[in-house]
Amino acid sequence: MRIVLVLVGIVGALAASAAAQQVGPAVASQPSSRLAPTLASTLVPGLALTPHVTPPPSGLQFLCGVQAPYGEWDAVAKFIAGLSSEGYSLSPDGKAAWDRHAAITTASWANVQSHYLNRIDAWRKRTIDRRWTTDLAFYPFSGPDAANVFTFFPDAREYVLIGLEPVGCIPAGLADYTPQYFGALRRSLDASLTINFFRTNDMQRDFGGDNLRGVLPALLFLIARSGNSISSVTPVTITSDGNVVREREDVRGETSGVEIQFTTGRRVRRLVYFSLNLQNARLGRKPGTQKYLACLPEADTLIKSASYLLHRPYFSLVRNTILSRSRLVVEDDSGIPYRFFNQSAWDVRLHGAYNEPIDLFRNWRQDDLKLAFDSRPDVLPLDFAIGYGHVRGSNLLVAARRSR
């Protein structure tokens, strides 16, 4: 009976798409005093949100929405991640496609773990004093890179990620998880699973309208592969008064996002991803979003592979927000320039080696950071690559705020 009812729901979603309608959830949400509202308590138990269904463009042909098949988010996340197809009745061709996807992604995940994530975790245990850490991890310019922020800050209860790419959706029916879809998903994750960062130009292509249509599949993949169980996925928006509420047709929001609630063992945690351009001119048009960022609780901030945007004057608003709201900043040299960390306010420690930025960003060399790396006797080595550098050219700056 349950499967029949869910199938009826999916058929209804497809009909809604054919009529070019978007149906929003009808349950009112209340703003929360915490970083992101606890929305799960307002949902009907066992059901996901009424789907936001998107008609197929000219690329991959499938209908999609923020709706898990059979309403089970953990099952579909593990399915997308190549971890389990349990509970899904697949055709022989569908099963063969998923089996191949599982084998390839398992090998790719083993690579990124052995070369990057496990080494970062060992470095963190040696380096990061738990007295510096907070309940909130903030990761601007992240794209869907959940794996790294989990590894650098595994004790956080809340994660806020910000990228340019839209949230997007997942296929509404199992038949749409085709070899072409799985191939597009793996292509979108290729750089992340081989060199441990997403390339901006690749993301514009891979998460654009003609392919995966957003970062939600990649987020589900990385959260599940990181050993978590997903309990709910909820479209959210930042309103003009700075609150995060469930996205609905009768709510006018400034900045769209998605809240993913998940568990690690018995710990309930939450990741919120916002699709947002952090350039001053764009952020200046969104007073509610500025208020939200300015009112974030004290955070641990990760910045890596950030295209040196925080070196530029037209990203000063978010740079100032990071410096004012962070208790701890972990970054490579593409993050906030060294000169902004006042030594009387920050305990700054250096790791790795600082060389020239890669050719694409050669104009953003920091002579003062080079001098600090060359002259300070307390610089510690790194045994992993981070950001745009190879192992011998990678660096991390760890800045812990002194008592205010």
pLDDT, position 277 = 95
* Crossing angle of helices 92-112 and 216-225, rounded to 10°: 70
| Pairing of the two strands 267-275 and 253-264 | antiparallel
Question: Sorting pLDDT into bands at 50, 70 and 90, what band is 209?
Answer: low
pLDDT, position 218 = 93
The secondary structure of 140-173, three-state, reads: ECCCCCHHHHHHHCCCCCEEEEEECCCCCCEECC
Over residues 338-360, the pLDDT tens digits come to 999 999 999 999 999 998 898 99
Q: Give me the mean pLDDT over the 51-65 stretch.
A: 56
**Res. 188: pLDDT tops 90:** no
**Res. 26: pLDDT tops 50:** no
DSSP 8-state code for residue 49:
P
pLDDT, position 43 = 28
> Are 371 and 364 spatial neighbours (Cβ–Cβ below 8 Å)?
no
What is the spatial distance between Cα 141 and Cα 257, in angstroms, rounded to a whole number?
14
Question: Sorting pLDDT into bands at 50, 70 and 90, what band is 389?
Answer: confident
Helix (H, G, I), strand (E, B), or coil: what is residue 271?
Answer: strand
pLDDT, position 388 = 87
**Res. 200: pLDDT tops 70:** no
> Are 73 and 231 spatial neighbours (Cβ–Cβ below 8 Å)?
yes
> Are 59 and 209 spatial neighbours (Cβ–Cβ below 8 Å)?
yes
pLDDT, position 369 = 97
pLDDT, position 130 = 86
Residue 159 pairs with which residues in a beta bridge? 137, 271
Range name among 28-37, 121-130, 158-167 with the lowest pLDDT average: 28-37
Question: Sorting pLDDT into bands at 50, 70 and 90, what band is 368?
Answer: very high
**Res. 48: pLDDT tops 60:** no
Q: Measured in Å, how far apart are the chain's first and last C-alpha atoms? A: 60
**Res. 279: pLDDT tops 70:** yes
Q: Which pTM value belongs to this model?
A: 0.84
pLDDT, position 18 = 37
Q: What is the mean pLDDT of the chain?
A: 83
Q: Give me the mean pLDDT over the 5-24 stretch.
A: 36
pLDDT, position 249 = 87
Alpha carbon 139 to its chain's center: 8
**Res. 323: pLDDT tops 60:** yes
Question: Sorting pLDDT into bands at 50, 70 and 90, what band is 85?
Answer: very high
| Pairing of the two strands 267-275 and 158-163 | parallel
DSSP 8-state code for residue 300:
E
What is the spatial distance between Cα 369 and Cα 354, in angstroms, rounded to a whole number?
8
Q: Give me the mean pLDDT over the 273-296 stretch.
A: 97
| Pairing of the two strands 299-303 and 136-140 | parallel
Range name among 65-74, 130-139, 160-169 with the lowest pLDDT average: 65-74
- Sorted by where each begins, the domain ranges of the chain are 2-27+39-322
